[in-house]
Amino acid sequence: MHFFYRSERKSAIVRTSIGNTIFVTHAVAQLSDEQVIPHILKDRDLFAVLVQRYEEKLRRYIRRIIAVSEEDIEDILQEVFISVYRNLHGFDTSLSFSSWIYRIAHNYVRSLHRKRSVRPISVELTLDHSKTIADSIDIAKTFDQQVLSENIATAMAKLPDKYKEVLILQYLEQKDYNEIADIIKKPPGTVGTRINRAKKKLKALLAQLPESYDQ
């Protein structure tokens, strides 16, 4: 499901891994997700534009919230995009498409959790991610940044899913409270409460790990 995208002055090219090439006018290529949807409803080939925009984002997100093989991740992506494709006509373009497609991915992964037991997720963090998280939970004096990052990843993996998912959405996927609320279908106030509790639990878990921060 790999797509290659190249912008040009008058047109853009979306090329699939199986060799299909779709020519898109530059004007359409520059439209927002919500603006491009009416064009897709008239020409379903243009759905490749949305796949190109979200394939890597969703692959990364799925990898962060469920511990499965890369082959399984590809299968999940396929199912998510099929669901989006089939239900696109019912999407309200006054809302956020990004939140909608993330919610579909989120719900599909939750259904997998219910159907089968999966091993704990190993959360991968960049140093920038770990520093932002550390600052948000008031870890002021740190030891080695790489050790801190590994410890935060270890601690996050031990959090209950409902706390882990909101931290991933806020700090790794860069979603705000309203977007998270839309994705997990909870009121923004509940999201805020859940994030605060998640940070407290994360800090408590970090305190049990060596060399996270000065006590």
Average pLDDT over residues 132-138: 86
Residues 66 and 168 in one domain: no
Q: Is residue 15 exposed (0-12), middle (13-18) or buried (19+ Cβ within 10 Å)? A: middle
Least confident of 59-63, 114-118, 174-178, 182-186: 114-118
Residues 55 and 23 in one domain: yes
> Which of 115, 147, 169 is the last residue in one of the domains?
115
Average pLDDT over residues 12-41: 70
How many domains is the chain built from? Answer: 2
- For residue 212, being part of any structural domain is answered with no
pLDDT value of position 47: 92
Q: C-alpha 88: how far from its chain's center?
A: 19
pLDDT value of position 210: 67
Query: What percent of the chain is predicted at pLDDT more than 90?
Result: 49
Residues 49 and 84 in one domain: yes
According to the per-residue pLDDT averaged within each range, which of 58-67, 79-88, 155-164 is highest? Answer: 79-88
pLDDT > 80? residue 139 = no
* Main-chain phi, psi angles of 119, to 5 degrees: -70, 160
Enumerate residues 6+ apart whose C-beta is below 8 A from 84: 50, 100, 101, 104
Residues 51 and 76 in one domain: yes
pLDDT > 50? residue 13 = no
Residues 135 and 90 in one domain: no
Residues 107 and 168 in one domain: no
pLDDT value of position 121: 61
Average pLDDT over residues 149-169: 91
Domain range holding 167?
Answer: 127-207
pLDDT value of position 68: 85
pLDDT > 60? residue 7 = no
Residues 67 and 168 in one domain: no
Q: Other C-beta atoms within 10 Å of 43: how many?
A: 11
Q: Does this model's pTM top 0.85?
A: no
